[in-house]
Amino acid sequence: MRGTIRCVVVAGVLSGCHSDDTVVPPEDSTSGASGLVVHWSSAPTTWPGDLGGGITIESARFKIDSVRVIGDAGPGDPRTTATQFEARWNQETAPADNVFDDAPPGLYSQISLSIDGHLTESSFELRGHVFVNDQQWEYRIEDNNALTFTVQTDNMLSPGGEATIGLRCNFFHAILDVNFGTLPVEDGRLKLETGNAQMPTFRAKLVESFESVSADR
């Protein structure tokens, strides 16, 4: 999401000078483009992904209500906030970067995420296949509840510079502890959904799966 508005106002007062005199304002050493980028990634890095233990993941979708990169100088700056978009991974798709062209310089120590389908859609949905007792099943994991949490990071944006924060979702951590053998079968699929007894634990693991990583990973 890009939104860039730049306004430049130059005011000069000339007195006792000839009409061909030129006044050049001094250069601002802090001027120039600056930018903060949130780069989304996943583990596994390729899709469909093999998680081991007979489990694959083929797609993941998150309804992002907001992503806020929080600087120490301003915890609620709209210049570092993106709202209402979908983060999706599958064989053809990966989430686009969030680019904040007008982010103020300073130290950024947190990413605040709100994942919320507002009851009209699932807040998140994961799909794949799993072997249970030597039989392969399709599975779906989806939840209507909102997830709101923060991820710790440590990134400095210098005046006129650029900084990239890596935000990764580790699906190994989220999914490998699911007991697929106890899930109900709906329409020929194993289903982990909002009211299931495993969902509170899965929610907590999913929140833990979002992590800040170096941007070159």
Q: What is the pLDDT of residues 34-51, one digit of tens each?
A: 599 999 999 999 999 999
Query: Model-level pTM?
Result: 0.82
Distant-in-sequence, close-in-space partners of 210: CB < 8 Å, separation ≥ 6:
113, 149, 151, 167, 168, 169, 170
Widest CA span in the chain: 93
- Specify the residue for token string 């969030």: 98
Token pair, residue 40, equals 């989304």
Distance CA 21, CA 44 (A): 64
149 vs 72: CA distance, rounded Å: 17
Q: Classify residue 95 as exposed, middle or buried by CB count within 10 Å of its CB (0-12, 13-18, 19+).
A: buried
Ranges under pLDDT 70 in the chain: 1-34, 73-74, 216-217
Q: pLDDT per residue over 62-73, tens digit each?
A: 999 999 999 986
